[in-house]
Structures are given as structure tokens and as C-alpha cells.
Structure 1
């Protein structure tokens, strides 16, 4: 089994690329595999990063932890695991062709890409910022999902709207990876139902390596779309934020949120989320007491 798992994971990149190209046969849009890479999307060094901030969260409620240390609060907290975060994030608005520059400061929902914005201040103490763990003030480059999330928060009255300074975008669609996502989700569902952990590992390796290698990785010579890579990752973080927002709106206490798939809440979480391993469900990882004995 270990040898089979290693062999399958080794061929996950060419296999997922073959699946992707097969899923695009007869597609409505002709996407570009190797558009010009804009400076904002270029790594500054071989092991360095480019200028795009993906909104990765690493948040815990400072007020709750302060109150817990002082002995003023005691909560039973469940750490929830979000299933298939990157697989679910394949459903996102992706630019189809090469990115084109604009500086009109207007967001066109029919386009997608990266945007340099001055983000609004975030003053909601019991919800994490949509920008994730970023601490530095001032303008920054963000992706389409993060911008759409900030605009949604502004419509909900949670913050002001971000100021858009410039953008690199292309005409976009939310369904570019949808056939591939559905195929992988179906095989994942069948593997869970039959207890086939080998197939489950293979599917997970396929979609996770698709995301991690379509940028500037030497492990994938068939595509260079760092914009897609950043957008899919950011969509996973945005999806997690929406889970936290749903929990908060339903009366749960959001205690912590981090990475792509970890959400800690206090309260009757099963009244809000369904328990299970499907993409629409969540798994409890462990339960602990905040404010209790360590």
C-alpha cells in the first residue's frame, strides 16, 4: 500500500493536468496556459515571494483569551476541520486570458485578477479580518476573492469599501475548473463511502498539487498561471472566513481561525454545520476548554 501510494502521488501532477485538459474539451472559453507574467506576479528570488498577499488567516480572539486568562470566561471550544478546502476553492472567478492593466479604480465583476488597494480598517473584535494575518498598513496587492470578500463586507456594513488604485485583470468565469472539480469531488465521495484511503490520498494529492504547481514550479511544465494559484489559495481562505461569518451570525462564538481549514467555535456547532467528510460538511478535530485548567 505504501509503495502504491508513493507511485500514485508521484504521478499526481501529470495525471491532474491530463484531467484538466480533458475537462476543457468543448469548453466555452479558450484559456491561456502561458500568458505573460506581470512584475507583480514574479518571484523576487528563486525561494522568495512575489508581491501578492493571499489573505492567509492566523487569528484568535484576543478579547476572549484575555478574559479567559483573567478567569472571567470559561468556554467549551470545538476545533472544526473544513473538508477539501482547496478542492472547494477550485470554484472561483479565474481570468481566462492574459492580464490587462487598468487604473480606473472600478471593480468589474465580469473580470478577475489582482488588484492594488488600500484596504479599510477592521474594527470587528469578534470576527477575523478578511485580510488575514497582515499587520502592515498601507496599499497592497490582493487577489480577486479577497477583493470580492472586502466588497461583500462593506455591503454588510462591517467595514468601509477598499480603495482600488490599479488592477491587472482579464475576462473571467467561475466555471473554468468546474468539470475537473466535480470529477475529483465524485471520486473523493466514492473513496470515502468505500473506505478507500489510497484513492482518497491520490485525489487529495491531485488537487493540492494542481494548486501548488501551476505558478512558477518546475514540477509542472504544462502551465504557468501564478495568478490562478494565488486566486485559488485566496478563495480557500475566503471560504473559511465565510464559515466563520456563518457561525458568528448563527450565534456561535468564533474563537480562532487559521490556515485553510481550521475553525474553532464555542456553542452548538451542529445546529449550524453538518458533521461528516463531504465537501459541504465539517469534522470535529478535538474539544478543549478555554479558561479551564491547562
Structure 2
């Protein structure tokens, strides 16, 4: 049954992420041990993550299919599972881009050229009635989260492997008319390197048709602080259908206790809190508010 489900969900990416540079011999481990190491690393994060110095290169088409590119610096605040705030600006200047997510909503605003903020609700993400963002903040938050999914709607992991990676797949029941006979679809994949420190090197979310919704490479793993988790300091995210990519480089991570996080840090911006140049606010899934339809792209946590 699993082989049929995997075949229906689409093929693996044709290329594997690059090797981290280690010359150690790959080690074959049991699935339980692979999970244990990753979850133990994630458990070392018991608050928020803060970086006062990040750089971002982003490239994506706008609504008129005009290619936009941005090379920016800024700050990042993240609190698992969904709280994310990225404020970006040129080397010298005021903020020009904001990327964010909280328990209910996610948003992206860009001040130069586009002058707008677009936002949506996690509950509608991926539904046919929802519009798209070129950069999905909810999926960025999911990629940054150390560890493995805890979603009770997912089954897994189903493990496959190659010479350099163990691939942990999590599946969900596909759309259908009843509880029986619905296909099982691959929802997401975690590619775990078979050399120390045995961290996740690639995360893939798939949509209901088996297509890659988002693929992220995680590189430059280092201990974030003394006795802290191993975290990537370079994250390269690709949204193939939107022809968009986003490269994040983190100078360093710092722990931030939850009590130190400002209560409004992850509030969705409103007109009064946005830069004056942001003239338009659009909810991309407003038409979903009065209807219910299943998602067609990978979940966001």
C-alpha cells in the first residue's frame, strides 16, 4: 500500500543537496535513532530565536510577471511553531520589506515598487480560493523550525535512503468522498545527512498533485550558542511554481526567553504601523471566509 501511495504522490527531486564537506564515511542508522537525534536537537530550543544581523537575497515575479530582485539586510525573530518576523532594509535606509507570521495569519509587505501588503490566514493556505504570495512566510517558519513535525494528521516517517541521505517522508490522507479509499499523499520530506552531525539538509513540501510546493536547503550547521541546538546559518528556499527563491544568511543566532519577546512582536501590521509608502492592504483569501475547501499545497507547520 505504501508503494502505491508514494507513486501517486510524485517522484523525489532528481538531485540531492550537496554534501556538507565532510569526508567521513556515511553511517547507516535505524529510523528511531535518526528521529531521536533530530528531535533531541530541536528540544534544545525552548524559547524564541533572534538574529540581529541577517542578509537576504530574494527574486520573484510580481503580479504583472515583472521580475523583482532584492538584496537586503535586517533582523529576524522566530518562535516555534509559527511566529516569524523578518524586517529588511538596504544597507543604509529604512525598512522596505516585512515578512511575518503568527498563530492565525501570515503576511508580506514591500514598500518600494509594489507599495502593498498582502496577507492570508493559515486556515486557508493552499486552498483554491486563496491567492498566492511569491514568498510564503508560513512555509519559511516551518522550514526554520528545528526538529520533525508533530502534526497528528500526518503519518510517518516512511524511510527511504541513498548513499548519503536518509529521507523521512510524512503522508496525509488525500481529498475524497469518504474515510475509505482515499489516497495517501506524501506531504513533506526531510533529507537527513548520513554523516555527523546528522542534521536535516533539505525539506520538501508537496501539494495534493505530488508537485513540489517548496524546497529548502539548510547549510552551514553550527551550534547556535553554548549547549544550544545545531542550527543552519544559510537557508536557500525555492518555490518552483512561483519561480521564486529566497536565500537567507544568518550571522549568528541568539536565544530569547519567551518572557522577553514583546507582546506585539508578531502582530499582523495594520495601516498605522506600516511605512507610509505601503498604500494597499489586500487579504489574499478573503473569498475563503465563507466557504470550506481542502488545501492543495503543503501545510505550513
TM-score by length of structure 2 reads 0.19
- Looking at both structures, which has the greater relative contact order when contacts are Cα pairs under 8 Å and sequence separation is at least 6? 1
TM-score by length of structure 1 reads 0.19
